[in-house]
Every structure is written in C-alpha cells, then in structure tokens.
Amino acid sequence: EVQLVDSGGGLVQPGGSLRLSCEASGFIFNRYAMTWVRQGPGRGLEWVSSISGSGGTIYSADSVKGRFTISRDNSKNTLYLAMSSLRAEDTAMYYCARERDIAVANNWFDSWGQGTLVTVSS
Amino acid sequence: SYVLTQPPSVSEAPGKTARISCGGNNIGSKSVHWYQQKPGQAPVLVMYSDSDRPSGITERFSGSKSGSMATLTISRVEAGDEAAYYCQVWDIYSDHWVFGGGTMLTVL
C-alpha cells in the first residue's frame, strides 16, 4: 500500500525558515516524480514544486522560486521542502503527492500525504 | 500564466446528475485531471487523462472534454459526493502545474 507521511510543519515567524518532510513507503520511491501542493485557509489547491524521480529535474511556482527548495533522498525514501524567507501568505496546509511517472509533467497525482500545517505569524 | 476557470459552486438533488465544468484556453490539447477533496481531508484523484477513472472510483463519475471545456459528470448524485472538486493540467509553456479554483458540490 502506498503511504506518504508529511511532517515538519509548525508556527514560524515572518522571515523564518522551516523544512518539511514526506516519508514514502509501499512503492519504489526513485521511480516516481514527487510534488508539493499547498492550500491556504479557505482557499483552493496551489502547486508549489515538483522533482523528477532522479532529482535531476525541478520545477517551481513563481510565488516560491528563490525561497523554497524541493529535494529528495532516494536512499531514505524521503521528499523535502526547504522553505526560507517565509511570509504570512505562505500559511497553508502543505501536501506531498506522488506523480504517476518518473518524469514531471503530463501525468497526474495518484497518492497524497495527509498534509502538514505551516503557520507564518509573529 | 495559464488559467483554469471553474464555477465556485454547483448544487444538485440526490439521484440527479451534477456537471462540473473547467474552462481553459486550448484545453483540448491538454490532459485534464480531476480531484475530489472532502473537508479536512487530502485530495483524491477521481479522473485522469480527461476520461479515465482510477481503480476504486465509482462508475458514476465520468469525464469528457469538448472545445474549450472539460467536464466532470457525477450521475445519481449521493450525499457522500458532497465535496470540492478541482481540475488540473500541465502547462507546457510555463512548465507549471495548474489547478482550477475549485467547485464546491452541494447535495440538496
């Protein structure tokens, strides 16, 4: 059974940093691209960043480019999102999701984590 | 940047058919995927590649695409279908995933 467990969220001050993790099990991790999606309070889904199975290809939303960095450790079956220069508008539930293929794009998200909440506030 | 437009809300009585639209420029050239999200839960894939249903998703859900619009159709609507629904595509020009704004389905 595919399982994705999100962790690392919490309360952080504006300008601060945080690293989210997504621990995967039940499938061969390096054969799948992975993605982070967020959802602000009362808002819709917003794509954040995606990484190919090898880690060699990365795409990120303009709203987080230069501040957030997606990475993966295939030896630990874990996906990461390093967030810095956090702003109030980054407050959201962050979900990791598995893409259907090893390459990013033109496939779909077939499994999702339960989410981890990030709150940016002083 | 590419935009997907969904109606904020759709209401339908139990047993009827609900249709949720997703509009976008040249959407005919893109594969459209749909997710269902119930309150307090993570999204779930309910349709991929316009009209393919994942295993475990009821056949009451179907997808179609025509012109500049994709549609998720839910037949014989049940109370358990009440949720937000999001369409999604990959925009090759920006190398970005794009979600529609979401449609809240209310079962009357």
Beta-carbon separation of A46 and B99 below 8 A? yes
The per-residue pLDDT for A103 is 86
Task: List the single residue in B31, B45, B84 with the smallest CB-CB distance to A109.
Answer: B45
Bridge partners, residue A4, by sequence? A24
Residue with tokens 């339908």: B12
Q: Which residues of B touch A114 (CB under 8 A)?
A: 42
**Chain B residue at shortest CA distance from A100:** B48
pLDDT at residue A106 is higher than 80: no
Q: Which residues of A touch B54 (CB under 8 A)?
A: 110
* Burial of A65 per CB tally in 10 Å (0-12, 13-18, 19+): exposed
Beta-carbon separation of B42 and A112 below 8 A? yes
φ and ψ at residue A13, rounded to 5 degrees:
-80, 155
pLDDT tens column, A5-51:
999 999 999 999 999 999 999 999 999 999 999 999 999 999 999 99
Compute the average pLDDT of residues A87-107: 93
> Which residues contact residue A61 at a Cβ distance below 8 angstroms, ignoring those fewer than 6 apart?
A46, A47, A48, A49, B96
Closest CA to B24 of B86, B83, B104, B81: B86
**Chain A residue at shortest CA distance from B46:** A110
User: What is the number of other CB atoms lying within 10 angstroms of the CB of residue A2?
Assistant: 12
d(CA B6, CA B98): 12
Cβ distance B12 to B107 under 8 Å?
Answer: yes
Beta-carbon separation of B95 and A59 below 8 A? yes
| Sign of the alpha-carbon dihedral angle for A58, A64, A65, A68 | negative
The per-residue pLDDT for B86 is 98
d(CA B44, CA A38): 14
Beta-carbon separation of B49 and A109 below 8 A? no
pLDDT tens column, B9-50:
999 999 999 999 999 999 999 999 999 999 999 999 999 999
With an 8 Å Cβ cutoff, the interface of chain B facing chain A consists of 1, 31, 33, 35, 37, 42-45, 48-49, 54, 84, 86, 88, 90, 92, 95-102
The per-residue pLDDT for B27 is 94
**Chain B residue at shortest CA distance from A57:** B95
Residue with tokens 């991790």: A29
> Residue A102: which pLDDT band, with cuts at 50, 70 and 90?
confident
Beta-carbon separation of A95 and B97 below 8 A? no
Q: Are strands A3-7 and A45-51 parallel, antiparallel or unpaired?
A: unpaired
d(CA B9, CA B72): 13
d(CA A122, CA A108): 37
Compute the average pLDDT of residues A101-108: 86
Helix/strand/coil for B27:
helix
Cβ distance A96 to A115 under 8 Å?
Answer: no
Q: Which residues of B touch A37 (CB under 8 A)?
A: 43, 99
Joined tokens for residue B41: 């839960």
Beta-carbon separation of A105 and B31 below 8 A? no
